[in-house]
Structures are given as structure tokens and as C-alpha cells.
Structure 1
Amino acid sequence: MTMKSLTLGIAVGAVLTATSALADYPERAVTIIVPFSAGGNTDSIARIAAEHLSDELGRPVVVENRGGGGGTIGSAMVAKADADGYTLLFGTTGTHNVNPRLREVDYDPIADFTPISAGVVSSVLIVANPEVQADTLADLMTLTASDAGAAMNFSSGGVGTVAHVAGELYNQKTGSHLLHIPYGGAGEAMNDLVAGRVQLNMNNVPAFLSHIESGAVKPLAIAAEKRSKLLPDVPTTAEQGLNGFVMGSWYGLMGPKGLPENVVQILFDAMATLDEDATVVERYKALGLEAAPSESPAAFADFIAAGYVWWGETLDNPVFKE
């Protein structure tokens, strides 16, 4: 054998070995970093997805909580991890769209990650205290844009929260002047809504489901492109003439930048069946959520990038800098 043919053989062998190794992914346990403390919403969502991934991949998928900095510490950790598919992140609207727009973070939310798929997308629901004289969103828009609407208000868990942003966006889109009443947390804001001390709240669906079932609040519209399976009788904002009002929170799987394409595809294929797993569907439903895997990794990447732009433009408003 000549030196040239020997060199060629070694090179081909190395390629085949690398390809074989990638094809065997995962060969050991995969860790998903949840950048928030255990027991929270993101943690619960991620653990349900992790169990599904374990079944699909045939390897343990372990959740590790690395909270702090509003999710930015754990996110930065994954941004600096080896791009081998064994350290992943369950990112959120907060870690990749909101926090990087509000403060300096130790990562680039777009360039430093390889998006795989969304797991859950939870849309904003517009709800009212039962005493509010509006049974549809159209009724509400007429009311809040009138002189009577000047005395109405909406609650939130604080300045810059989803509920605050949604309420201000509603004002902007409808020409209303609802007064923002910020509380120390979402629970307090909900209590005063139920008690009738505030008239409206606009937050993600899980915050309201039990109160809707009890009749303590009434849902008027969901700020989504299509109706929720959890609330099929509640029309979308666009169905009722409020265009350009689509917002909510997403939770999804991603890895460090440079994740091999076939590893991304293997992980995506496993995530893509989330909404076909009856156990996952029921467990998410119990949390007031729906599984919503992305159409493709590229679609998830576009979704994150569009959200980054949208939140940047939306938060560039003095009312969010009080």
C-alpha cells in the first residue's frame, strides 16, 4: 500500500467513525438545563418534555435546575457548553426575548444557540370581572374606548410583566385609557380582579383556567392565531376585530451554537411527537397548557428571532421603564 492510499484510508476511516458516532446519538444520558428553580412553571413543562424525550431517544434525559438572574445564568451556561447534544437548554420568552432587551446578559440569544423545537406556547387571554358590562371583546373595546372606559383599570404582577405589556398594547390598539394597577405578584393581581377591585387582566391561559371554571372571571378573547383546545368557545382577538394583538409565552428546547445537524434532527423528531403522546397532552392540560412543537428547527429559530424583535420594539416604551 502506498503512503497516499494509506493516508486516504485513514481519512475515510475517520469520517466513517465520526459519522457512525453521530448516527448513534445519544450514547449516554442527555442533560436539559432549566434556568429557573425547581417547582416553577418552566421546570414542570421541561420535566414532562424530558420524560417524553427519554422514551423517544431510549436514553435518560435528566433535568438540572440552574436558576438565577431571571433565567440568564443557566442560559449562559448552555451557551458555553460543548455542542455535542448532551447539554441542552429549555429556554423561554424571558431568557431569549425579554431579559436580553431589558439588561445586559452573558450571551447572544440568537447567535449563541441552536434552536430545536418549541414545546409549549401559551397565549394571552383577556378576561374581565363578571360585573363588567361586556360579554365579547367587541363590547369591551366599545366600552373602554368610551368616556365610561376612563374609569376602568387592569391589573398585573408588576411593571414589564406579560400582563402589563398586554394591557398597554390593548390601550394602544384600541385607543383606550385603561389604568395600570401593578401588584407585587400575579396572585395579588388575580385576587383583586376576582374581588372586583380591578376590572380586567390579560395574562397567559394557565393563570385563569380555574377561575373561569368557577365563574369568578369571564374570558373574552385569546391573543393567538387560532383558538385554544382548552377554551374552544373563546374567539381569537382577530376574530373579533382586534388585529395585531397576538402575544404570549413560549418554552422550548435548544442547544449551544454549532449543534450537529443530525443531532438537531434526532432531537426535533423526538420533540415533534409531544402532541401525539396522550400522557404528555393530559399532563400539560392539567397545567392549563397545550403541547405545541414547531414545524421545523428553522421555524423555531425564526419564531425566536421574530419574538426578539417584537419584544424589543414593544418594550421601547417609557411605561415599561417606571
Structure 2
Amino acid sequence: MKVRKAVIPAAGLGTRMLPITKSMPKEMLPIVDRPAIHYVVEEAIKAGIEDILIITGKGKRAIEDYFDRSFELEYYLRERGKFEELKQVEEIGEMVDIYYVRQKKPLGLGDAILHAEKHVNGEPFAVLLGDDIIISKKPAIKQLMEVAERKNTSVIGVEKVPWELVSRYGIINGQKIDEQLYTITDMVEKPSPDEAPSNMAIIGRYVLIPEIFDFLKETPPGKGGEIQLTDALRAMLNEYEMLAKVISGRRYDIGTRIGFIKANIELSLLRDDLREGVILFIKNILQEVQDE
């Protein structure tokens, strides 16, 4: 089992980040000086993914433009001797083979994944959600790919969340293999704390076998009239083994305001050209706020 392809669903309306997402795709929200989806694509590339399918929707043309070549801009930068900026722009256009399919109706994550069936063409594939920026030494999706390729099965990324937050996530129940790996026995979408089988939450990274498409086709609409990926995965548990891997790293849900702010701060601190100035600003502003 070799994972070569990745799917990035990017068709959602981004309602959690309104009003800015009224005119800008949530995947293009700036994290320092790059859009959020840049980091997700970069993670896939570092994990060894060879081609990427992005599922887009109405109003998402900016994503395609970002990863495309911009000959006018490149000419402008070259003529003015801005070679460092030119290098950055050229690298974006040559990052990896990227393809696009449009989800014409917002029918949920499961429906978006179903649009990838022809592109996947019977191979196992990775799924990376653009809402989650994960900072880790080893790319988060690579952590799952290594388990999937070793165990020859689907692997879902999870992390422990506070019990009061379980209603925001799909939650798994499972048998522990070791501290980082579980055999999934059940999963439920957004349970209340008293109904949740655990506080192990499904986060935006998956490696799936192509049989998932058969189950997605049979999955009826769930909450909000959407086809839920979690419902299809739960049905697949009856026939196929599925593992959950605790991802090592720090995850930021940039679909929330606080997650977006935190991601900007940490990724600024990881930049040699920004770290000193950001630290100084944080120290100064904290002192000013405390003095008020």
C-alpha cells in the first residue's frame, strides 16, 4: 500500500469566520504572509505526496490563481531586480501537480470527498482539511501514511480534547494498541459530553482506502442535510479494520478566530526574520495591557 495522492476539500463556505469569508475563501486567510492552504499543501509535499486534488466551490477561484504561474508578476519582479520575491513566486507555481474539481452544491465533507473518486482511481489516498494547521517535526499526514502503509488499512488522525469540547468533533471509541495507536470500534459525530465514548477527537487528517467511496454513495444526509464523512467511516467499520493515530504536533483550527490568531503567532515566532520583533511586541503589549 503506497499513498501517492492527496485530496484537500476546500469548498466550504467558511461561516465560522464571517464576515471576512464573505469575500475571501477561508483557505486563503493569511497566516503571516502565506494563505492557510499553502501550509496544508506544503505538508503534503513534505510527506512525499506526488499529486493533489483540491475540491473547490463557488467563489474559490483565488485558490487556483494562487498556485498558478503569474507571468506578468514574474516579469515585473525580474525587471526591477526583486529576485528574492521572484524566487518565492516561481516556487509557488511549481510546488506540485495540483488538480481541481468543483463541488457545485455545499452538501458536506462526505460529498466533497466523493468528488475525488475518479481522480483517486482505486488507490489509497490522504485527506487534509484546510481548517487545520498542524506544526510538527514530521508532517502530520506522514505520521498517518507510515502507519497505513505498514498496516495496509485506513488511518484517522486524532487528538485528545477537553471533555467540554467533544460536541464540536467526531469522536472515536477504540482499543488501545499503544500510547499513540488505537483500533477503532465505533465513532459518533458531535456527541454531547455525557454521550461521548471518549475524548479522542477526529481531526483534519485521514488516510483512506478507496472502498470509502462505496460507503459514501450509500450514506444518507445527516446533520444539516449534509453527507457526513464520519457516518460513512462508521459504516465501513463493519467490514474493514480502521486505526486511529494520535498526531504528534500542535494543531490550530484556523476556522475559529482564536485558532487563527494562535497560528499566526506561532508561525511568526518560527520565522528567523520575524521572531525577535514579535517577541518584543508581545512583551511590550502585555506590559501596556497590565498597566491599564
Range class of TM-score, shorter chain? under 0.3
Point out the structure with the larger helix share: 1
* Structure ranking higher on relative contact order (CA contacts 8 Å, 6+ apart): 1
Q: Give 1 or 2: higher strand fraction.
A: 2
Using structure 2 for the length normalisation, give the TM-score: 0.27
Larger radius of gyration: 1
